[in-house]
Structure 1
Amino acid sequence: MIEVQHAPSIPNPPSIPSNAPSIAHELAGKSDACSGCANQEIWTGSCAPPHSLRMNDIKRKILVLSGKGGVGKSTFTAQLGWAFAADEHKQTGIMDVDICGPSIPTILGLTREEIHSSASGWSPVYVQDNLCAMSVGFMLPSSHDAIMWRGPKKNGLIAQFLKDVDWGSLDYLVIDTPQAQSGIDGAVLITTPQEVALQDVRREIDFCRKVGIRIIGLVENMAGFVCPGCKNTSQIFKPSTGGAKRLAEEMNIELLGSVPLDPRIGKSADYGVSFMDEYPDSPATTAYLDIIDRISAILDQK
């Protein structure tokens, strides 16, 4: 069982340098991290290693997908990252490329942080010594700004996150994304019990199989409501067609587990703290940790 520990407080970073990336810049999604670097003239080549070399320093790359918004994909991503980082000997990164809804900075308590750049690339923002994150949200002038990107420009920014971010050596990189990417160890798909969500997940499963992405398993989120007082569980989203269990059997994939809806999950996300750390006795915490243990076991089998 993975043990969850309190994260140490992180001091405020220095002010952002003038050459740091911004989503509003005309070259965002097009340029690389060396653009504007003061050290550029003393180098005969690019400061940062190519995409392939950066990815070689990351042992496990995991996608968290849903195919539908509002099912708790980003919240699960954060809990997965916190749980991996509970082992102080493991280095974990979270990459948030959900351009339409970059919520990872809020969930991790990093809304006031900014990206810094150096000769080795963009530096991720650290939650604690062994947990860092990179998000489109760090590049927005404010949390109210929308990103109206499609096609090549959107794909260009994702490529920059892979190529230009100085992740260092990671044991796990958890990627919060609305769409499947290549070059990863597997995908965890998130759904809620009702059929309208399951339909989108079926399409996501089909897509993963067509492009050759390994599916680690399926997680059913918001599977019943847990009363914080009496601890009783009641259904909020009725599994009218059998829920995630039926879908997993139908699609021949593993159901990793079901996480009940605890209102304190939302509260923890708003305050940027680990729900599992704050509420270790919640049935949802038990479910999260069982699921994460199973994901770790599956990845170790590879």
Structure 2
Amino acid sequence: MSAPASTIQDAIQAALATVDDPEIRRPITDLGMVRSAEVGPDGVVRVELLLTVAGCPLKDKLRTDITTAVAAVPGVSGVEIDFGVMSPEQRQSLQARLRGGGGQEPVIPFAQPGSRTRVYAVASGKGGVGKSSVTVNLAAALAAKGMSVGVVDADIYGHSVPRMLGADGQPTRVEDMIMPPQAHGVKVISIGMFTAGNAAVVWRGPMLHRALQQFLADVYWGDLDVLLLDLPPGTGDVAISLAQLLPNAEILVVTTPQTAAAEVAERAGAIALQTHQRLVGVVENMSWLELPDGSRMEVFGAGGGATVAESLTRTMGAQVPLLGQVPLDTRVRESGDAGNPIVLADPEAPASRALAAVADRLAVRRESLLGKPLGLRPAGR
């Protein structure tokens, strides 16, 4: 004897509610994507699903996930899925649902008082110190710990994060919202996703500011624990825009042991004094090369990271720690070129362990103070 139709129908709806949209990471039933789901006398369930855009790149994954979930319902003999596309009105409704209201101007969620997202801006004084390598490996390590992580490739001229993270997907647009592609559990956005081939970006200050603003406000990031920004080298327009758009961002300085690099890194970190941002610490990259006999060759000298940390501590009047020293390892470069960060490709490598240790120190979820008593009392007269 088969189960009552209403019981099967309820079970089907419950099964569909377990399927998340791969980009938005919320149940397809909550997003208004399931237009209908009916079970026939033969036990075949026919689902009509509305995609956000006609060329949805994750259509096959949706088909697989829905089929797997619904086929597990007792009494279901088969699953057929008919894909449609949302109307402009339905997309606007989805956008309003995701933003928590309708028609308002996009805001930067990470700059709001109730935000629980820790924002780390990875900076360096000069190029070539491995800032992007450090960024993508920290992101991958944090995501591997179960945290929700996003990366903004804010190095507009020298964007390299998508390749190094293996994010070869393209952003999906829902009205004026952008769904970022993901790789290794990390959401990522980069100007390189919007340019043809390897075309150069020739922009000046106002355009750079607007691009960063769009990456932060127009991209649907969801509830992130950590957002990392890979900044361009130096103290130029993007660093200034970041201070304006995300005054709560914490600066992570990357340097090499080389004296010249360390001196420039100090200037990059010292900008936090002018922008009133917190310096979370210093990472020394390419610290040494481990030789086959177990000895170390200090290719770029020694002590640069400690020197930067000590100098910034004096400048800021607060402790700026040296968070870690990452040894020079060709596997870091090889893994980056392959789009598989070394912390995932070879977790036991010395460079991986050093980067994972830095990630451990950054993996602190920020608790919102919104609505919490702070225990403050007015000063007596």
Fold match (TM-score > 0.5): yes
Choose the corresponding residue for 1:245, options 306, 310, 314.
306
Residue 7 of structure 1 corresponds to none
Shift of 1:281: 2.2
3-state SS of 1:217 partner: strand
Q: What SS is found at the alignment partner of 1:270? A: helix
The structure showing larger relative contact order (alpha-carbon pairs under 8 Å, at least 6 residues apart) is 1
- Would the aligned equivalents of 1:58 and 1:173 in 2 still touch at CA under 8 Å? no
Q: Does 1:276 find its partner at 2:321?
A: no
SS in 2 for 1:51: coil
Aligned AA (2:193): F
- Equivalent residue number for residue 378 of structure 2: none
Tell me the secondary structure at the aligned position of residue 160 of structure 1.
Answer: helix
Instruction: Give, in whole Å, the separation in 2 of the partners of 1:186 and 1:147.
Output: 27
Partner residue, 2:224? 170
Deviation at 1:15, TM superposition (A): 4.5
Question: C-alpha displacement at 1:230, in angstroms?
Answer: 4.8
Q: What is the number of residues matched between the two proteins?
A: 265
Aligned counterparts of 1:254 and 1:91: Cα–Cα separation in 2: 25
Question: Which of the numbers 199, 212, 217 marks the counterpart of 2:276?
Answer: 212
Select which of 274, 286, 291 maps to 2:353: 286
CA drift at 1:38:
4.0
* Cα displacement (A) at 1:46: 6.4
Alignment counterpart, residue 235 of structure 1, candidates 298, 323, 329: 298
Residue 251 of structure 1, CA deviation: 2.4
Trace 1:120-269 onto structure 2 (pairs within 5 A).
Answer: 121-128=177-184, 130-142=185-197, 144-178=198-232, 179-180=238-239, 181-182=242-243, 183=246, 184-227=248-291, 229-239=292-302, 242-252=303-313, 253-269=320-336
Q: Which runs of 5+ in 2 are unaligned?
A: 1-21, 24-52, 58-86, 233-237, 314-319, 370-381
Task: Classify 1:87/1:40 alpha carbon distance in 2 versus 1 (closer, same or farther; 3 Å).
Answer: same
The structure number with the bigger radius of gyration is: 2
The alignment partner of 2:225 has SS state of: strand
Shift in alpha-carbon separation, 1:14–1:175, aligned structure 2, 3 A: farther
- Counterpart contact for 1:107–1:271, Cα < 8 Å: yes
For residues 158-208 of structure 1, the C-alpha deviation after alignment (integer angstroms, 9 at most, x for no partner) is: 111111001111111111112432223411100011122112211112211
Q: 2-side partners of 1:231 and 1:103: how far apart?
A: 33
Deviations along 1:221-280, one digit per CA (max 9) or x if unpaired, are 0001134x55542111013xx411122223212111111111100000000002012222
Structure 1 residue runs of 5 or longer lacking an equivalent are 1-9, 18-36
Query: Does the CA-based 8 Å contact 1:99-1:147 persist in structure 2?
Result: yes
- 1:53/1:238 CA distance change after superposition, 3 Å: closer
Task: Kindly indicate whether the alpha-carbon contact (under 8 Å) linking 1:225 and 1:260 is maintained by their aligned counterparts in 2.
Answer: yes
Instruction: Output the CA distance in 2 between the equivalents of 1:154 and 1:285.
Output: 33
Partner of residue 235, structure 2:
none
TM-score by length of 1: 0.78
Give distance in 2, aligned partners of 1:288 and 1:104: 17
Q: 1:121 to 1:55 in 2, by over 3 A?
A: farther
SS in 1 for 2:117: strand
C-alpha contact (below 8 Å) 2:138/2:358 kept by paired residues: no
Q: Percent identity?
A: 32
Q: Find the residue that maps to 1:170 and give its secondary structure.
A: coil
